[in-house]
């Protein structure tokens, strides 16, 4: 039984596509430190529920609240990037990487919500901008090392095998320092079986048939990279 603080609260969420009801009155609670799996047949609505949580689809009914007591945010009505800023990240059933960007650049994209220097800031305080850029590069490199992707940092994402692309997508999601991580069919392409030596993948292997992971398996505070 989970004893952590309530993190995600879904109440009677319904999503329709025309006359088809893809998700019908789903209610679900996820607590800090808890791992929850969504299991169902193809077309049961698992990915659609993920889309509702991450604002790539908007439910017609119900509420989705995320955050700790006193700071809980209504996710319905937000834009996808705002959901990421709240602390929710995801991967996709069909991998969505920036194919013509390098492996390192893909992970750096995931860090954009955790950096602050824009064009004006970079011009006004170049030292701070460079310091933040170094931090982002170090953070992205640490994630690539965690997923055994560092040797391929300069390779185009499109050149990776399917299983490695899956790992890269998870690394990019973790780069946003989420409190809640949604994995949609993470074992697709046997990415985890091929990466049994990767510490994070070893933890995920225990739930390889499931789609939903709450909190990074290595624990710790948002922003920490395991030693």
More confidently predicted of 70 and 80 = 80
Q: Which two three-digit tokens encode residue 219? A: 């624990």
Predicted confidence (pLDDT) per residue in 30-73, tens digit: 998 888 888 888 888 999 999 999 999 999 999 999 988 778 88
Query: What gap in Å lies between CA 90 and CA 86, rounded to an integer?
Result: 13
Q: Which two three-digit tokens encode residue 197? A: 């030596």
pLDDT for the residue numbered 156: 97
Lowest-confidence region among 107-111, 168-172, 223-227: 223-227
Query: What gap in Å lies between CA 102 and CA 89, rounded to an integer?
Result: 21
pLDDT for the residue numbered 71: 80
Query: What gap in Å lies between CA 132 and CA 117, rounded to an integer?
Result: 8
Q: Positive or negative CA dihedral for 6, 12, 18, 19?
A: positive
Q: Is residue 21 scored above 50 in pLDDT? A: yes
Predicted confidence (pLDDT) per residue in 99-147, tens digit: 999 999 999 999 888 776 555 555 566 676 777 788 888 899 989 988 8
pTM of the model: 0.77
CA angle in degrees (0–180, nearest 5) for 154-201-210: 120
Predicted confidence (pLDDT) per residue in 199-221, tens digit: 555 545 443 333 344 333 333 33
pLDDT for the residue numbered 224: 30
CA dihedral (31, 170, 39, 44) in degrees, to 10, reads 110
In CATH terms, 6-213 corresponds, of 3.40.50.300, 3.40.640.10, 3.30.420.40, 1.20.120.1200, to: 3.40.50.300
pLDDT for the residue numbered 46: 92
Number of H helices, E strands in the chain: 7, 7
Predicted confidence (pLDDT) per residue in 25-39, tens digit: 999 999 988 888 888
């Amino acid at each position: 039984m989970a004893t952590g603080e309530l993190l995600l609260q879904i109440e009677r969420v319904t999503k329709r596509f025309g006359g088809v009801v893809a998700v019908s009155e789903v209610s679900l609670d996820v607590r800090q430190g808890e791992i929850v799996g969504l299991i169902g047949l193809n077309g049961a609505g698992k990915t659609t529920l993920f889309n509702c949580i991450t604002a790539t689809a908007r439910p017609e009914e119900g509420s989705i609240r995320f955050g700790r007591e006193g700071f809980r945010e209504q996710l319905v009505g937000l834009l996808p990037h705002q959901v990421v800023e709240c602390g929710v990240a995801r991967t996709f059933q069909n991998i969505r990487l920036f194919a013509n960007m390098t492996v390192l650049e893909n992970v750096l994209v995931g860090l954009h919500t955790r950096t602050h220097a824009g064009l004006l800031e970079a011009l006004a305080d170049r030292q701070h901008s460079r310091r933040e850029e170094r931090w982002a590069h170090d953070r992205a490199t640490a994630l690539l090392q965690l997923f055994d992707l560092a040797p391929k940092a300069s390779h185009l994402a499109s050149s990776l095998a399917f299983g490695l692309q899956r790992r890269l997508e998870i690394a990019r999601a973790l780069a946003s320092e989420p409190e809640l991580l949604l994995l949609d069919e993470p074992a697709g392409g046997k990415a985890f079986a091929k990466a049994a030596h990767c510490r994070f993948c070893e933890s995920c292997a225990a739930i390889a048939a499931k789609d939903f992971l709450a909190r990074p398996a290595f624990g710790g505070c948002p922003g920490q990279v395991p030693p």
